[in-house]
Chain A
Amino acid sequence: MGLQAIFFYLFAFIAVASAFMVISAKNPVHSVLFLILVFFNAAGLFLLTGAEFLAMILLVVYIGAVAVLFLFVVMMLDIDFAELRSGVLQYAPIGMLVGLIVAAELVVVIGGSVLTPEAAKAITMPIPNPASRTNTAALGDVLYTNYVYFFQIAGLVLLVAMIGAIVLTLRHRTNIKRQDVSKQVARTPATAVEVVKVKPGQGV
């Protein structure tokens, strides 16, 4: 108890409340802003459990990059709010089903760890002492040794996805002038300037 509990309830309450606001806000930009608040509080919860590295990565990746793109797209699109909200009830059963499945999974996971505490001992990796090893270093220890192939494969999947996105959206127009900086820099007065002696009254 004490300060930790107060902060836990603070972060958890704001996270749940703003998660509700994400789906109930009328304006999609407000929804995204509330989503950012959810991420922020999730980072706070990570910090409380001592996962400082995950908290900071959540801030950098999700809020600093993903949510910026989200906001970008939502702001740029010309959305008809009334039309967007008309089909809410139609999707309610599917939404409830997804929620139910997630809730069931949570019950299974948490219930399992409560009923069989010895299952946690099955972890083969030694857990380093938090006082002597920061969790950034501890994560690095396993990520680049035991799980290096999985890590590389995950990176490869992301690379393929990135190339795919570029290929799908690349549109190379041929009939426009493009700037080639190296060509510009390589130009010398000898190739660029022609000195013409113009005699009076004759022109070039």
Chain B
Amino acid sequence: MDSFFSIYVWPGIVMVAQSLLLLVCLLVFIAYVLLADRKIWAAVQLRRGPNVVGPFGLFQSFADLLKFVFKEPVIPAGANKAVFLLAPLVAVLLALSTWAVVPLADGWVIANINVGILYIFAISSLEVYGIIMGGWASNSKYPFLGALRSAAQMVSYEVSIGFVIVTVLLCVGSLNLTDIVNAQHDGLGTRMGLPASFLDWHWLALFPMFVVFFISALAETNRPPFDLPEAESELVAGFMVEYGSSPYMMFMLGEYAAVCLMCALTTILFLGGWLPPVDIWLLNWVPGIVWFMLKSMLVFFMFAMVKAFVPRYRYDQLMRLGWKIFLPLSLAMVVITAFVLKLAGWA
């Protein structure tokens, strides 16, 4: 009985506690990311943004949460009820479950699996189902059009994201996210004889892929300028037209969880994860999680700024960018990277 406890029960309790802690921190973080998004957007437009609830509007997201939860969910008469309610659940559960494999600092990861990056890629390719199911189950024109747009968009940009990930994996030689960060200890900078620094991270060596990944991440998470599934000037609110109260909130939560994940993934793949920018004792002394958060927030700031000042793409332009520019570019980079690694003997 003792062994049963030490093999199954205790690790189970630890795992559940870790997951709960991560989820709570993540949800609070997302609340402030949402606020930051609105504040940055407001600042670009010379507005104040939310500033009434709490000091500087810091509790705005929680006020919104209460408002959504206490409203009555309205289900359209013609809707497919089960799928209609399942869709937001799918969206938010998938977006949150990807966080299980993200290493926040050295060893700070719930599931350190061998195929971590594939897991993230697989789960984020499933996120399209929340949107398609919601759009279809609403049984109305605009949601359906929004869902179709979104399905085509997300499938297209996954292709180039896949190739970008392959390029990074070629340089690392492992699918484990912790290994990917550790591989950025040495890179271009150390090969030139410099001490370990931010020049070693993949963003410099694979700069075109960094740009492609950033833009594809915008498209994959339906962020402006690629927010065509919910383009308000054409489709009212796209796949979310018929949603209100808590189901709508779940869609929003899933969307922001996916955005935060893409920021974290950019940090891990290209910005050296929890590694300090320069390898000196003072910066090494700062905990890795702080660097990870700082870098993720920097990426999110770029996400928010893009939202604030880039006009929305037209749908055919979006498809052209994905298939005719990013796909050949990333495919060529895979081949070039493989050749360079092989010829230079670094692989």
Contacts and interface: CB of A to CB of B under 8 A. Distances in A.
B132 interface: yes
Interface in A31-80: 33, 36, 52-53, 56-57, 59-60, 63-65, 68-69, 71-72, 75-76
A172 B97 CA distance: 44
Given A2-B8, A3-B8, A56-B118, A33 B125 contact: no
A198 to B, nearest CB: 33
A65 B115 contact: no
B122 A68 contact: no
B284 interface: no
Interface size class of A (residues with CB under 8 A): 20 to 34
A136 interface: yes
Contacts of A2: 8
Contacts of A60: 118, 121-122, 125, 162
Given A3-B8, A63-B126, A33 B121 contact: no
B155 interface: yes
Nearest to A29: B136
A38 to B, nearest CB: 14
A2 B83 CA distance: 34
Contacts of B136: 29, 71, 75
A191 interface: no
A3 B144 CA distance: 42
Interface string B36-55: 00000000000000000000
Main secondary structure of the interface of A (DSSP, over half): helix
Contacts of A75: 132, 136, 144, 148
A134 interface: yes
A53 B122 contact: no
B59 interface: no
B185 to A, nearest CB: 21
Given A75-B136, A136-B175, A52 B113 contact: yes
A143 B80 CA distance: 45
Contacts of A163: none
Interface residues of B, number: 27
A64 B126 contact: yes
Contacts of A59: 122-123, 125-126
A104 interface: no
A52 to B, nearest CB: 5
A185 to B, nearest CB: 13
Contacts of B133: 33
Interface in A1-51: 2-3, 27, 29-30, 33, 36
A60 B117 CA distance: 12
A65 B125 contact: yes
A155 to B, nearest CB: 13
Contacts of A76: 148
A68 B175 contact: no
A52 B115 CA distance: 7
Given A136-B115, A136-B175, A64 B83 contact: no
Interface of B: 8, 80, 83, 113-115, 118-119, 121-123, 125-126, 128-129, 132-133, 136, 144, 148, 151, 155, 158, 162, 175, 316, 320
21 contacts: A30-B83, A53-B118, A56-B118, A57-B118, A59-B123, A60-B118, A60-B122, A60-B125, A60-B162, A64-B158, A65-B158, A68-B128, A68-B132, A68-B151, A69-B155, A71-B132, A71-B136, A75-B148, A134-B175, A136-B115, A179-B316
What are the 10 closest A-B residue pairs judged by CB atoms, nearest first? A64-B125, A59-B122, A56-B118, A134-B114, A60-B122, A52-B115, A56-B122, A56-B115, A75-B136, A68-B151
Given A29-B80, A64-B158, A68-B151, 7 more contacts: A36-B129, A63-B126, A64-B126, A68-B155, A75-B132, A136-B115, A136-B175
